[in-house]
Structure 1
Amino acid sequence: MTVDHPVSRSALPYRFDNPAVPTPSTQLETLTPSAVANLSSFQAYLRSSKRILALVGAGLSASSGLPTFRGAGGLWRNHDAMELATPEAFSNDPSLVWQFYSARRAAALRAMPNKAHYALAELAKRMPEFLTLTQNVDGLSTRANHPPNQLLHLHGSLFSLKCTSFYCDFQEDNHFTHPLTPELAIASETLAPYTHIPQSGLPHCPKCHTGLLRPGVVWFGEALPWRVVKAADDFISAGKVDLILVIGTSGTVYPAAGYVDRIRMQGGKVAVFNIDIDDSESEDDFSEMESERSYANRTKWTFEGDAAEWVPVALEPIIGHIEVQEGSSGERFNLV
């Protein structure tokens, strides 16, 4: 599989209409009056916000066809996925771990960024003080042309590589070539039996030529990347963050809850977009009579449902309306 990256704006499968010329969203036609009031209140506050942080999780990519890490029973070829995502597993059997991650890379490359990925990327292009902190490793935000200086990967990326040699500092990001070695092609064949690959057939460091490469993801037992954590902390500390968008993840579990709490302490507000909204996350419904300016008395908005549908609608006042380009397939990539 080879990928043309980055994608030019003309290749995007979505068109962004000018936000100065509002285009009614078809989704609004199905909303209750209370939900419309809730959305209008959020959008009024969005227009007044200068600094925004988005914290995103697996629910952002659900519409792209990617299951959560623990989805599908948490098994890969009868192996517990969580047990494969450790430094110890890689040390004991790098062939098995690399085939697991090669299969995940292939699945991520078959998937396409959805409207929410493009909406967040567009918001970043229009708002210099907007930052996305993603817990996803699937590379879809990058492939949606999200500005790299406004995108932090809290858990690393399937498409980052780093050398395991103690004496080598090689690291490469956005390596979308697949498979990484001819021997790893078998990992993309879901029905193929597991075959051990000798170390000579696994990815090796192009710098030191001796160390094995490993996926640049954060494994269980490893610390979050200090550079990413510091960059997020610096952004929050640089001034009041008016709004945090919690998308496809729970805002009540750490580390997400920590960022939400900090922004609330600054006086910022929270908007949660998720397929399931816990009762503790919701506030009272808006009445039909409430003005969109009622956001002054609001500290949180919740939007229950598919983030790929809700996020573009919610961000329309800034990014404009998104329409699917007929006959466009988005990125060009070939499976081999």
Structure 2
Amino acid sequence: MQTVMALVDGAERIAVLTGAGVSAESGVPTFRGEDGLWKNHRAEELAHPETFSREPHLVWEFYNWRRSLLSKCKPNRAHHALAALEAHASSMLLMTQNVDGLHHMAGSHNVIEMHGNIWRVKCTRCTYLAEDYSELPELPKCPSCGDLLRPDVVWFGEQLEPGTLHSCVEAAAHADIFMTVGTSGIVQPAASLADLAKRHGAVTVEINLDPTPNSGLVDFSLQGKAADILDKLIP
């Protein structure tokens, strides 16, 4: 821990990748294990363009339920610690797989939401895109063209925006320190970023409650609650 603290304090370029484990400490369901089912449907099935095309009512019911849960969640100490680290660092990019918007709420500014944001909606036909924190109808319609809206999130079977992935790869390739926080290191392409950073000379640090497939590959693996560990790492 002391070594990582010193490395973080001396780094000029920091890149951080966060996953569901960070938001779980705010009460956000991870949809793994016992949280993996909703009305006997797996999250992977509901967060899919084919399901939305076939049963938009079902998918929107799921996402409106998630939005109602998230409306009660607040950033936790891990979110605030990362915002404080950004304020201290010479250069820091925060990449998150989470769609809950909690990093922004905590005060982080240089954030890439790799999988989108559940509080944004976009039209399935035209270019309409907007943040909307209101309680949405069962099948929300686009105010511009009247077609169906969908959550502005990347579903299973969809590709990340090319510009998003490019920015993440660039940050990993030029980082002095690359940290993963609260992520299992399984979902691609995010899972490959730590290896990319290490091959380009970065010190790699994993912070997670449990060991992951990457624990033996990174330079430092710190196990415990993200909030507890990050609080100690902030200079």
TM-score (norm 2): 0.92
Residue 312 in 1 paired to residue 224 in 2? no
Could you tell me which amino acid in structure 2 is paired with residue 171 of structure 1? L
Counterpart of 1:176?
A: 133
Contact kept, 8 Å, 1:250 with 1:256, in 2: the verdict is no
Match of 1:155?
115
For 1:159-217, what per-residue CA distance to the aligned partner results, in whole angstroms no more than 9, with x for missing partners?
A: 1111001xx111124x222x123xx4xxxxxxxxxxxxxxxxx2111222x21110011
Against the structure 1 CA distance between its residues 280 and 262, is the aligned structure 2 distance closer, same or farther, given a 3 Å change threshold? closer
2:209 pairs, out of 268, 271, 275, with 275
**Contact 2:29 2:35 (C-alpha < 8 Å) held by counterparts:** no
Of structures 1 and 2, the larger Rg is shown by 1
More strand by share: 2
Shift of 1:233: 2.7
3-state SS in 2 of match to 1:54: strand
1:229 aligned onto 2:165: yes
The answer to whether 1:219 aligns with 2:177 is no
Please, which runs of 5 or more residues in structure 1 have no aligned partner? 1-38, 185-201, 284-298, 318-336
On the 8 A contact 2:185/2:213 being kept in 1, the answer is no
| Higher relative contact order (CA closer than 8 Å, sequence separation 6+) | 1
User: Relative to structure 2, which stretch is displaced further, 259-268 or 120-129?
Assistant: 120-129
Question: Are 2:18 and 2:180, in contact at CA under 8 Å, matched by a contact in 1?
Answer: yes
SS in 1 for 2:178: strand
Q: Matches of residues 107-118 of structure 1 in structure 2 within 5 Å?
A: 107-118=69-80
Shift of 1:78: 2.3
Instruction: Please state how far the C-alpha of 1:261 moved relative to its aligned partner.
Output: 1.5
* Equivalent residue, structure 1, for 2:221: 302
User: CA contact under 8 A between 1:108 and 1:139: conserved in structure 2?
Assistant: no
The alignment covers a number of residue pairs equal to 235
Contact kept? 2:37, 2:43, Cα under 8 Å: yes
Per the alignment, residue 36 of structure 1 pairs with none
Q: 1:80 offset after TM fit, Å?
A: 2.6
User: Aligned-pair distance for 1:47?
Assistant: 1.6
SS at match of 2:112: strand
User: Which letter maps to 2:111?
Assistant: L
Residue aligned with 2:151, SS: strand
The 2-side partners of 1:162 and 1:57 are apart by: 23
Deviation for aligned residue 1:91: 1.3
Q: Would you say the 8 A contact 1:113–1:143 is kept in 2?
A: yes
Q: Is the 8 A contact 2:172 2:194 kept in 1?
A: no
**Contact 1:161/1:171 (8 A) holds in 2:** yes
Shift of 1:265: 1.5
Identity of aligned residues (%): 40
Gaps of 5+ in 2: none
> What is the CA distance between 1:49 and its match in structure 2?
0.4
Cα distance in 2 for partners of 1:82, 1:261 equals 26
Amino acid in the other structure paired with 1:102: N
Q: CA deviation at 1:116?
A: 0.6
Kept in 1, the 8 Å contact 2:74–2:102? The answer is yes
Once residues 170 and 51 of structure 2 are traced to their aligned partners in structure 1, the CA distance between those partners, rounded to angstroms, is 34
Q: How big is the shift at 1:282?
A: 4.6
Q: Report the 3-state secondary structure (helix = DSSP H, G, I; strand = E; otherwise coil) of the residue aligned with 1:110.
A: coil
- Displacement of 1:66 in angstroms is 1.5
Show CA shifts across 1:79-121 (max 9, x none): 2322111111111121111010001111111111100101111
Aligned residues of 1:273 and 1:304 also touching (Cα < 8 A):
yes
Query: What do the CA deviations read for 1:130-183 (whole angstroms, capped 9, x no partner)?
Result: 001100112211221211xx1001111111111001xx111124x222x123xx
> 3-state DSSP class of the match of 2:25?
helix
Choose which of 115, 126, 129 in structure 1 pairs with 2:91. Answer: 129
For residues 63 and 255 of structure 1, the distance between their equivalents in structure 2, rounded to whole angstroms, comes to 24
